[in-house]
Amino acid sequence: MKAISASCLLALVALMACSSSCRHHPTVRVPYDTAAARERLYSSTVRLAVQCIDGSGGWGSGVAVSTRHVLTARHVIDGCGEAGPWIITASPYGRPLTVEMVVDKIARGGDAARLVVVGTQSPFRDYAAPGMAPVSDGNLVCASVFDPSFFMYRCGYLVGVSADTLILGFRIVGGNSGGPVFRDGELIGLVVARSVHPDRQHVGFAVPLHQFRELLELP
């Protein structure tokens, strides 16, 4: 989806402001160099497809936080405009399954939203555990996302941390929005934007966990 949230704009400002203090680290590929490790990383990641009433639509990434709930970036489901999304479907990693979801709750602060499965199904076998320890510049993190046709991950270091933004030292592309950012296997944020600056294409942005912690208080 193409909508740009306020938190994404703030992230771009943060990037420009940190030119002297933020460090760029090369992409790290080591943490998930085995099939079993990748399976653990992907296990809670879902692909989201959004269909609008006017026939348009888009897709993004998300993360299961219970057997019935998924978190994603708010702008993934806001792209249909005032009419809102007509149908949202989620496909969990590694299973030939697609389930319909509806918006359950919107975060008051960050670019985040919670979805819930329509009906009584509980399709998500694995879900993410939230991280409790503070994050800081230099932490090794990995984003598990859905690319145009497959699940993938990117790893690197946090190159900047502010109250409402995590600056990721690796590239993010369209469709990655809403995907989980993990540190030591724990959820610490959601991917929300990529850099549009021509000299900083290696940088991505995420909303930190404390900005959407309310969404983890499940009914």
Tokens of 68: 């019935």
Residue 219 lies in a domain: no
* Global confidence as pTM: 0.83
Q: What is the mean pLDDT of the chain?
A: 82
CATH of the domain at 167: 2.40.10.10
Predicted pLDDT of residue 215: 97
Task: Specify whether 168 is located in the same domain as 60.
Answer: no
Q: Do 54 and 24 form a contact (C-beta atoms < 8 A)?
A: no
Residue 132: domain span:
23-40+128-212
Residue 13 confidence (pLDDT): 36
Is the per-residue pLDDT at 24 higher than 90?
no
Position 94 scores a pLDDT of 80
The domain total for the chain is 2
Question: Pick from 18, 115, 14: which is nearest to 72 by CA?
Answer: 115
Residues 201 and 142 in one domain: yes
Domain boundary among the residues 117, 144, 178 is at 117
pLDDT per position as a tens digit, 129-186: 999 999 999 999 999 888 767 888 888 999 999 999 999 998 888 889 999 999 999 9
Residue 196 has pLDDT above 50, yes or no: yes
User: Is residue 16, in this structure, part of any structural domain at all?
Assistant: no
What's the rounded Cα separation, in Å, for the pair 178 and 4? Answer: 13
**Are residues 34 and 139 located together in one domain of the fold?**
yes
Which tens digit of pLDDT belongs to each residue from 34-67? 777 778 888 999 999 999 988 888 899 999 999 9
Percent of the chain with pLDDT over 70: 81
Q: Which residues sit opposite 110 in a β-bridge?
A: none
**Paired tokens of 14:** 């943060």
- Which residue's entry shows tokens 């590694």? 94
